Amino acid sequence: MGLFAAVMTGPGAGAIATILLVGESAHGVLSDIFQPSGNRPPIFQAGRILLGHIVDGDDTVDQVTIGCEGPGTFAIHCHGNPLIVERIMKLLQGRGVELLAAERLLARTFAAEQPNDSIAVEAKLALAKVKTLEGVRIIASQMEGGLSQKVRQWSLEIDSVAADEIARQARQILRDSEVARPIVSGCTLALIGPPNTGKSTLLNALAGCEKAIVTDIEGTTRDWVSCEILMGPLAATVIDTAGLDADAVAAGRDEIDPAAQARSIEILHRADLVLLVLDLSRPEVRIDPKLLETLAGKRVVTVLNKSDLPPRLDPAALPARLGAPVRISARHATDLDNLIGAIGRTLGVADFDPHTPIAFTPRQKALLERLASAAAPSNPAATIATLRHGPVEG
Ligand SMILES: Nc1nc2c(ncn2[C@@H]2O[C@H](COP(=O)(O)OP(=O)(O)OP(=O)(O)O)[C@@H](O)[C@H]2O)c(=O)[nH]1
Ligand SMILES: [Mg+2]
């Protein structure tokens, strides 16, 4: 193994920054550029923390602490000014250290620690990017159990289990991965509906701040506004869109911008789930039949807003395919928990068992798709071995 370093802390200024230096001869490099406090020679022994200065010849670069994390692994904690960090990195580079992105260095070190379990390595790398605490639980459980355990089991039983059975299990894992995706990586929810039903008010209520402009004028929202919101176990990017009003567009009414409406439809297509927001206080339902067709292939939660006003809409008059609606008052933030519960149920994330095997990287997904495919080779052993030991993309 060579000598590698990466900045492990995020970009920009901070109180401290951490540079990880890895390699068998890393202590030799440090002996060159690190002057310990107290003028005693440093002992680079695993478990020790050293205080001193990084020096460039006679020039002092910064006061640092160095954590000796293991043989050949050192965490240099310096001050978080990016100029200081860059200078230390250049000093290391000048001594033959290869500079890497943090993720690549971690991928290498994790793979060296666990050369026989690529899934565990991928889980360690993925943990830094998971969007929710529930998602952390799911990914952490894949290291020993979950997908890692399932692939170990397949390797052991490869001679006694039919390829068809492995294909069936792989298809189930891919389905479960889709259910877990909103918890692990987040999902997109689109607020769609006729003008003035309270879509922007609902975005603000869910976000807990005034993200979108609210007025009683139809067509207030023209461009979309989005906000990242944690909702129970899932992380959602909620997108508020311009109200959809086909009649107004057909009549050329100026307040409803056709371009804004086209964008709303585009967002609807891309969303994992649509919140169809209707006004409970108005007798008529202004849903364009074309919109209903578009919604047919989507997961939809119908929201009857303005429940604080006398109800004038008959829910029985709603098209059956819209399912059971949820009543809320976005203005008063009433019954939002019911709405979040309905979203969770529609996405299937409520009560997701964190130990369920899931694919959480494109590499795993591609290999599982190969196992799941009807055209898979009759002996899936090679694909299973690649899942278990194949190179990790860092
Ligand atoms: N009484 C009551 N009024 C509400 C509620 N939610 C929204 N409103 C009002 O309804 C009007 C329209 O609200 P918006 O949030 O701008 O509606 P919108 O669907 O975003 O409208 P467009 O952007 O034009 O499509 C405003 O006057 C809001 O204050 C509610 O729960 N109860
Ligand atoms: Mg709006």
pLDDT at 220: 82
Does 196 contact ligand 1 (Cβ within 6 A)?
Answer: yes
Tell me if 219 CB under 6 Å of ligand 1: yes
Q: Nearest residue CA, atom 24 of ligand 1?
A: 219
**Binding site membership of 204 for ligand 1 (Cβ less than 6 Å):** no
Q: Give the distance (Å) from ligand 2 centre to CA of residue 122.
A: 41
**How is residue 361 written in tokens?**
């990287």
Ligand 1 within 6 A of 340 CB? Answer: no
* Long-range CB pairs of 41-46, under 8 A, 24+ apart, other chains included: 42/66, 44/68, 44/74, 46/70, 46/71
Alpha-carbon dihedral sign for residues 134, 136, 137, 141? positive
Q: Is 334 in the pocket of ligand 1 (CB under 6 A)?
A: no
* Contact of 56 with 91, CB cutoff 8 Å: yes
Q: In tens digits, what is the pLDDT along the chain, a chain of 394 residues?
A: 689 999 999 888 889 999 999 999 999 999 999 999 987 888 999 999 999 999 999 999 999 999 999 889 999 999 999 999 999 999 999 999 999 999 999 888 888 888 889 999 999 999 989 999 999 999 999 999 999 999 999 999 988 888 889 999 999 999 999 999 999 999 999 999 999 999 999 999 999 988 888 888 887 888 888 999 999 889 999 999 988 876 666 666 665 577 888 888 889 999 999 999 999 999 988 787 778 888 888 999 999 999 999 999 998 888 888 889 999 999 999 999 999 999 999 999 988 999 999 999 999 999 999 999 966 566 789 999 999 998 887 6
CB 186 within 8 A of CB 237: yes
Residue 279: φ, ψ to 5°: -100, 110
Q: What superfamily does domain 4-108 belong to in CATH?
A: Probable tRNA modification gtpase trme; domain 1 (3.30.1360.120)
Residue of the CA atom closest to atom 2 of ligand 1: 306
Long-range CB contact pairs, 123-129, < 8 A, 24+: 123/148, 123/360, 125/392, 125/394, 126/184, 126/360, 126/361, 129/185
CATH number for 187-347: choose from 3.40.50.300, 2.60.40.420, 3.30.1360.70, 3.90.1150.10.
Answer: 3.40.50.300
For ligand 1, is residue 331 a contact (CB within 6 Å)? yes
The total of other beta-carbon atoms located within 10 Å of residue 337's CB is: 12
- For position 163, what pLDDT does the model report? 85
pLDDT of residue 13: 87
Which ligand minimizes its atom distance to the CA of 198?
A: 1
With CA atoms as reference, report the closest residue to 21 among 58, 63, 64. Answer: 64
- Where, residue-wise, is CATH 3.40.50.300 in the chain? 187-347
Q: Which ligand is nearest to the CA of 193?
A: 1
Domain with CATH 3.30.1360.120 in the chain: 4-108
Tell me how far CA of residue 287 lies from CA of 257, 273, 276, 307, in angstroms.
17, 18, 10, 19
Place of tokens 């911008």: 257
Q: Ligand 2 centroid vs 223 CA: distance in angstroms? A: 9
Structure-token pair, residue 229: 């919101």
Instruction: Give residue 321's pLDDT.
Output: 81
* 200, 218, 291, 332: residue to mutate for ligand 1 pocket, most atoms within 8 A of CB: 200
Q: What is the pLDDT of residue 303?
A: 97
Q: Is the minimum distance from the CB of 131 to ligand 1 under 6 angstroms?
A: no
For residue 372 the two structure tokens come to 């799941």
Are 198 and 222 in contact by the 8 Å Cβ rule? The answer is: no
Contacts of 167 (CB under 8 A, 6+ apart): 371, 372, 373, 374, 376, 380
The pLDDT value given to residue 250:
61
* Residue nearest atom 7 of ligand 1, based on CA coordinates: 198
pLDDT, position 288: 77
- Calculated CA dihedral for residues 104, 109, 112, 113, nearest 10 degrees: -140
Q: Are 69 and 90 in contact (CB under 8 A)?
A: no
pLDDT for res 257: 72
With b for 16 or more beta-carbon neighbours within 10 A and e for fewer, the 198-229 pattern comes to bbbbbbbbbbeeebbebeeeebbbbebbbbeb
Rounded to an integer, what distance in angstroms lies between the CA atom of residue 343 and that of residue 333? 16
Q: Label residues 249-277 b or e (16+ Cβ within 10 Å = b).
A: beeeeeebbeebbebbbebbeebbbbbbb
Q: Residue 277 CA: which ligand 1 atom is closest? A: 19
- Reading the block at residue 329, the tokens are 């008052």
